[in-house]
Chains A and B, each alone.
Chain A
Amino acid sequence: MAEQIKEQVNERWGMVIDMNLCTGCNACVTACAMENNIPWVGEDDAGYGRGIYWMRIQRYWEGEYPETTPSYQPVMCQQCGHAPCEPVCPVFATVHSEEEQINLQVYNRCIGTRYCANNCPYFARSFNWFDYSYQIPEPLNYYLNPNVTVRRRGVMEKCTFCVQRIHAGQEQAKAQGRAVRDGEVVPACAQACPADAIIFGDLSDPNSRVSQAARSQRSYTLLEALGTEPKVIYLKGEGTYGG
Chain B
Amino acid sequence: MSDTISRRNFLKLTGLGAAGAALTGCGKAARYVTRRPYYDMPEYGALGESTYFATTCGECPAGCGLIMRTFEGRAIKAEGNPQHPVNMGKLCSRGLVGVQGLYNPDRIKGPGRRAQRGHDQVTALDWNAALDVVKQALGGGQKVAFFLGLSPDHIADLTAELAQAIGAPAPVRYGALGMFDGRAGLAEACRQVFGEARLPYFDLAGADLVISFGANFLETWLSPVAYTRGYSQFRRSAATGKRRGYFISLEARRSLTSGVADEWYPVAPGSEGLAALALGRLLAERGWALPLDASAVDVDAAAQAAGMTRAQLEHLADLASQAAHPLFIPGGNALAHAGGLAAARSILALNLAAGALGQPGGLYLSPAAADSSSLRDVQALVDRMRTGQVETLFIHGVNPVFELPPALGFTEALSNVKQVISFASFPDETALQSDYLLPDHTPLESWGYQRTLAGADRPVYSAQQPVVVPLYDTRSSADVLLSAGLLPYSDEVDFIQKKIAPLITQGGNVQATEIATFWARFLQSGGWWPVQAALAAPSAPAGLEAAAPQAAAAPEGQFHLVTYPTQMGDGRGANRPWLQETPNPSTTVVWNTWVEINPATADALGLKNDDIVKVKSSAGEVEAAVYRFPAIRPDTVAIPFGQGHTALGRWAEGRGANPALLLAPALNEAGDLAFGDTLVTLTPTGRRRPLAKLESTAGVYGEH
Contact = CB atoms under 8 A, between A and B. Distances in A.
B692 interface: yes
Interface size class of A (residues with CB under 8 A): 35 or more
Nearest to B48: A146
A169 interface: no
A43 B592 contact: yes
Contacts of B169: none
B232 A140 contact: no
Contacts of B700: 47-49
B585 A239 contact: no
B271 interface: no
B704 to A, nearest CB: 15
Given A43-B592, A47-B690, A150-B38, A25 B93 contact: yes
A176 to B, nearest CB: 14
A27 interface: yes
Contact of B74 (A2, A51, A143): A143
Contact of A144 (B37, B236, B634): B37
Nearest to A68: B631
B232 A46 contact: no
Interface string B200-236: 0000000000000000001100001100110110011
B256 A192 contact: no
A125 interface: no
A88 to B, nearest CB: 23
A140 B75 CA distance: 11
B556 interface: no
Given A2-B1, A56-B583, A194-B229, A140 B590 contact: no
Interface in A37-51: 40-44, 46-49, 51
Contacts of B585: 24-26, 57, 59, 72
Contacts of A146: 38, 41, 45-46, 71-72, 76
Contacts of B76: 143-146
Contacts of A72: 259-260, 585
Contacts, number: 218
A143 B75 contact: yes
Given A34-B97, A40-B581, A191-B79, A142 B229 contact: no
B694 interface: yes
Given A40-B580, A49-B697, A139-B471, A30 B97 contact: yes
A30 B585 CA distance: 12
A196 B229 contact: yes
B580 A141 contact: no
B93 A65 contact: no
B299 interface: no
Contacts of A40: 577-578, 580-581
Interface string B45-71: 110000000000000000000000001
Interface stretch (B84-92, B159-167, B614-622): B84-92
Interface string A127-151: 0000000100111111111110010
Contacts of B5: 2, 5
A47 B591 CA distance: 10
B185 to A, nearest CB: 26
B385 to A, nearest CB: 36
A66 interface: yes
B586 A59 contact: yes
Given A140-B104, A147-B46, A238-B237, 5 more contacts: A20-B235, A65-B631, A69-B259, A69-B631, A192-B80
User: 7 smallest A-B Cβ distances: which pairs?
Assistant: A47-B692, A146-B46, A43-B591, A194-B228, A68-B631, A30-B93, A40-B581
14 contacts: A1-B2, A25-B92, A25-B228, A27-B96, A30-B97, A33-B581, A43-B580, A47-B700, A48-B697, A66-B264, A171-B12, A192-B96, A195-B231, A239-B262
